[in-house]
Structures are given as C-alpha cells and as structure tokens.
Amino acid sequence: MIDKIISKLAKYPQINDYRLVKTETKSHEIFYILDKVETVRNTKLDATCSVTIYVDQNDQRGQASFVIHESYTDAQIERKIEDAIYQSKFSLNTYFALPKGEKREFENKSNINKYLDSDLVFKIGDAVFKASTFKDGWISSMEVFVKENKVHILNSQGVDYTYYTNSIGIEVIPTFKNEKEEIELYNYLDYDNLDLDKITSDTYDFLCQAELRNQALKYVGPNELPVLLEDKEIKQVIGNLIDNLDYADVYNKMDLMKIGDKFYGDGDDMPDISLVPYVDGSVNNRMVDVDGIVLKDTKIVENNIILTNHGSNQYGYYLGIDKPTGVLPNLKVEKGAYDMDELCAKPHLACLSFSSFQFDIYSGNFGGEVRLAKYFDGQKYIPVTGLTIGGNIHELKSHMRFSKEISNIKGYSGPKACLITKMSVN
C-alpha cells in the first residue's frame, strides 16, 4: 500500500515533500445487557493511510491531507493526489522543512498482546461484574473494546518509524434506585495494560460514586470554601496552562507566560511539570509524533520557573528551534507536598463528577456544574448535587495544594487531588 502511494506521488513534480501515516487496527469487542452477553465481535479493519503533500511556491509552503483506504484503485489514488495539489494552493504558510529521520521500530510496552485470545474480553467482562455487589444498584449495560494498532510513519526526508499501541476501553452504565427516583450514569474506563484487579477496583469506585449520586441531597452549604478537584480536572487546568507555552502560541503572540516566569505565582512547594511520551496507564502513549520526531521527556517547569516551550516541528522551525520537542502526548506532574488527610482535614467540597468542567485560559475563569460532590462540614461527609463552582486561575494559582498520592489516567500522571483554598460555590 505504501509503496503504491509513494510511486504515485513520484509522478507529480509539483510535490516537494510528503508524509504518510499508515494505521492497521484489530478490534475485539463484547457487549452485555445486564450480565448477559448480547454480541461478540472480532474485526480487522481495512488499513488506512493518511497522506499529507507539501507544495512550495516561492518562499511559501502549501499543504493538503487526504486518506487512502486499502481498497482504493490506482485511479482513485491519483484523483485524491490531484485534488490535494489543487487544495494546497489555498493553504500557503511560511516555508518549513520536514524532520529528517531513519528506519526504526519501537518496542510495544503494553502487556495486552501477551493475553490476546478468544477469552480475553470475557475475562475483562467478569472483572467488571465482580465489582457489582450493591443492594440498590446494578450494571445495566457494559461494553468492552480491546484494540491493537500498528502505526507506520514515513516522509520524504528519511523518517521511517513503526510503533504499536494496545488499549482496553470499557463503557459502564450502572443504574441505582431509591424510593424517589432511579438514576443512570455513564463512565468510560481505559487502560494501556491488562490488570484485572485494577479493572474491578476502578469499576467498584465508580459504582460507589453512582450509589452516592443516588443518595445525594441539594447543596445548602456556604457559598465560599475550599474545593478539592480530582485528577481529570487537574489535568485540564494544568494541561491548558502548559498548552499555552506551545510554539504555536508563542509564534502567534498568544502566550500569557514566558520562559523564566513563575508558573504558580507565589505558591510554595509546587510540583515540577514535564511533558513525556510514556506514563504507566495512559492510552495516549507513543514514542514518536505524527511528524516523525522521536519524543523524549521534557521538563517544562522546575522549582516554579518555566524552563522551555514545546510543540510541533512546523512552529519550532518558525521559532528557530534547533531540535523541536515534537507534540508530546502526556502531562506529568510530580507529587505534591500534602497527604490526603491534610488536604481533607477542614471543611471543603470534594468534587467527584462534573456535567461539564470549563476552563478559559485567557480570562482564567474555570469551574462548572457539579453532578456529584461530597461536602465535608467538619464532622461528616454529605453527598450533594445541584451546585456550581467557580474561580479564576490567575488569582488562585498560588493557592493550590497538591496531594502526595499519584494517579495515572489517559494523558496524565500526577497528583490525585488538588485543594484550591477558596472558591465560590452556588
């Protein structure tokens, strides 16, 4: 497939460079209604190849992308190429060079390949239902997806890299019922390694949340108090701040912070931050980016000082960066300075689930509608719902307290919780 595409591209002298990304995927799936198997599927999808062509005009470079399927005829491929050449004339940018590379195959660090057999999805299903031990609740439906991907990236400058990814995705929909109502929640769990005990534990934790949501009362506490955020929201807030240090934002003069600035304001004991290609538990892991840059751990913030920017080959080239970092897939935040007992010792609101958590990097405003939280009044926890929280990160960066306990989720390794010492609650 790749050889055919390259031979076709060679017939068009207008094309100065190209990049190909071929993906081959196998999928193993099982679907349950209650605890009864409804469907089992094992599929091998047609290979697809994303093609980007680069066409130079004077000191500018145009580009256009298209997708080729394994079943395409020669005529279909040629039509796609000709359309892309035409489209590239309308997307001219300042010239940039593609990264150079070599031929290399990266190790698959996932253990899922070791367990791929006809029974794997059933074993995962059993691990999920093992957590369903609640009197007033049950798993209404559940689906398991096990995926194998082979990705081959090459370009006209010698890049020829192959890497593999494996993942497990689990959709869980539980139902809980009390005297007044019946509630149904949705969650998607994903893993880059197989650990059946962890799947059971994570499912149980989510079912506990669903049980709390079934018991939750309308919030009637104070309108201002400390708020405890969990890993997903920490990833969104810190991740968006780090995203603003991207080469593209620097080039377009949209960056709010500069190298040498304090990242956390005047906060003390704040954790260092890196962008990395691999963390345990993340299905985002990859050792090379889409342009063919081999990725390495990159420290962004150390001792509260911003050390460097980061980003893609194109914008790194514009800024004169000799070795751009590439687009790194995972945020890594070092552990904080506080035990969870310290963070939770005084009255606070621990947010467990949002309808939609929002964060605007430029205004600094963040928050949203809380679907489920636990309000600690100083003596006991009360499950609550029907409230919103809000604050401004530019005012509160110095008032963040991170846990020593670490969490690994999709695209993030870092503190499991962060206490922001004063936020509005309504």
Q: How many structural domains does the chain have?
A: 3
Distance CA 90, CA 62 (A): 7
pLDDT by position in tens, the chain (length 426): 999 999 999 999 999 999 999 999 999 999 999 999 999 999 988 899 999 999 999 999 999 999 999 999 999 999 999 999 999 999 999 999 999 999 999 999 999 989 988 899 999 999 999 999 999 999 999 999 999 999 999 999 999 999 999 999 999 999 999 877 899 999 999 999 999 999 999 999 999 999 999 999 999 999 999 999 999 999 999 999 999 999 999 999 999 999 999 999 998 889 999 999 999 999 999 999 999 999 999 999 999 999 999 999 999 999 999 999 999 999 999 999 999 999 999 999 999 999 999 999 999 999 999 999 999 999 999 999 999 999 999 999 999 999 999 999 999 999 999 999 989 999
At 269 the pLDDT is 86
Asked if 308 and 370 sit in the same domain, the reply is no
Tell me the C-alpha distance between 390 and 426, whole Å: 9
Q: Are residues 275 and 399 in the same domain?
A: no
Contact 354, 383 (CB under 8 A): no
CA of 317: how far to CAs of 109, 296, 299, 322, in Å? Answer: 31, 18, 20, 8
Task: Indicate if 223 and 276 belong to the same structural domain.
Answer: no
Structural domain span for residue 376: 216-234+336-425
Among the candidates 162, 181, 213, a domain finishes at 213
Has this prediction a pTM greater than 0.85?
A: yes
**Sign, Cα dihedral of 330, 331, 337, 339:** negative
Instruction: Say if 370 falls within a structural domain.
Output: yes
- My answer on whether 114 and 21 are in the same domain is yes
Cα–Cα distance for residue pair 22/27, rounded to 1 Å: 17
DSSP 8-state code for residue 110: -
